[in-house]
Amino acid sequence: MTHRLKLGIAGLGTVGVGVWKLLNENRERIFANAGCELEITAVCARNADIDRGIDLKGVRWVDNAVELASSDDIDIFVELIGGEEGIAREAVETALAHGKHVVTANKALLAHHGNELAAIAEKHNVALNYEAAVAGAIPIVKSLREGLAGNNVSSVVGILNGTCNYILTKMASEGREFADVLSDAQKMGYAEADPTFDIGGHDTAHKLAILTCLAFGSRIDFNSIYLEGIEAITQADLKAVHELGYCIKLLGVAIRTDSGIEQRVHPSLVPLTSPLAAIDGAFNAVAVEGNYSGKIILQGAGAGQKPTASAVIADIIDIARVNALYPLGREVAKLAPYQRARMRAHEGGYYVGLAVHDRPGAVAAIAKRFGEQEISLESIIQRGTDTQSGEDAEGGGQQSVVLIIHETAEAALREALASIEADGHIADRPRMIRIEKTI
């Protein structure tokens, strides 16, 4: 070994401490694979007085991340602060502009500013590595940027948020309602005190924006992602879809179409025979289809201290090997403008769940609305009166009606559901979930 790389870590939370521990625990193997020694010479965090269970003796403490990013005694700036704006963005921009390589786990920063950051990295001939930003220990960034670089990728479909997958798994296996399982997830640390970022689909969307760029060679365009969370999923939905041979997963989906690129995040019905149906708990999985590679599925731990630290260290080793890559797979100037696909018929069809007032003619009126939009129904499951669901104005109960819709334009289905809701035959808003049969 003829040289040594000096690391500066900004952020000593769960992941930062994990990076420290991994670098010390697997020291000999990491140095051998890197071809040089790696030394943490400086760190930065909000509070210097917290006992993190690691020995910082001999390491310079820096109070400001931007100061650390421009420091002469680091070669690689490791950003583990988080957030799309503020100190994280300023520090990463500063590091790149000062000729420092950057390793980050910050998906929000990349989803909103990745195009600009990659251009700065290219200008100063430094690396911007971010494997840890998407799906934890799963090497999906390296797979798209390197392993599948010769393929025309047609689709990327993934379970990209462990919190949502944990909640949906527990709801299905234990028969518990959403709010109950979410409360447990918060107690166990799977979900934040304010879980909106996860359960609303935003975390998945940040990761999908990055994968879309790498898969299709287009500029990152987070704002073009269609977004739905899992808040409306009920036990009635989970039981009904299981009887039909499906489970529900929150998916990030990116597909190349004739009219552009389709990006969407939403709950989806996945056939129980699909490999993605077997991904339970807090695990992640990504399915990629290339014209020569065929379909490839990668799965594993998508978050947590050890999986994320593993990805951070792998990125650092890549830099040590002088494995210089364009951050977004190709030069930013050669990335195609993002072209959003037009609305099209969804190939897998739809699941629709309705809480229908138990009154004469209600179901027939609902069927008529679908007919007006020329929507074909594959199957209908109609259950008896459910007195526990509440009573309507006439003192009657409600029926659970589940419909499976053949392929149709989503605009037509939404028009039909809007008319059904306006007619007053249902007690709650319709629940619509896309069916993904191609994975």
SS (HEC) of 252-269: EEEEEECCEEEEEEEEEE
- For residues 200 and 227, is the Cβ–Cβ distance under 8 A? yes
d(CA 90, CA 301): 30
* CA-to-CA dists, residue 114 to 120, 220, 292, 429, angstroms: 10, 7, 28, 37
As to burial, measured by CB atoms within 10 angstroms (0-12 exposed, 13-18 middle, 19+ buried), residue 429 is exposed
Does 437 qualify as catalytic in the annotation? no
Structure tokens at 415: 């028009």
Which amino acid, residue 274? S
Catalytic residue among 207, 239, 368, 437: 207
CB contact burial 127-153 (16+ within 10 A = b; e otherwise): bbbbbbbbbbbbbbbbbbbeebeebeb
d(CA 128, CA 147): 18
Of 144, 158, 255, 137, residue with least CA distance to 201: 158
- For residues 429 and 352, is the Cβ–Cβ distance under 8 A? no
Catalytic residues: 207
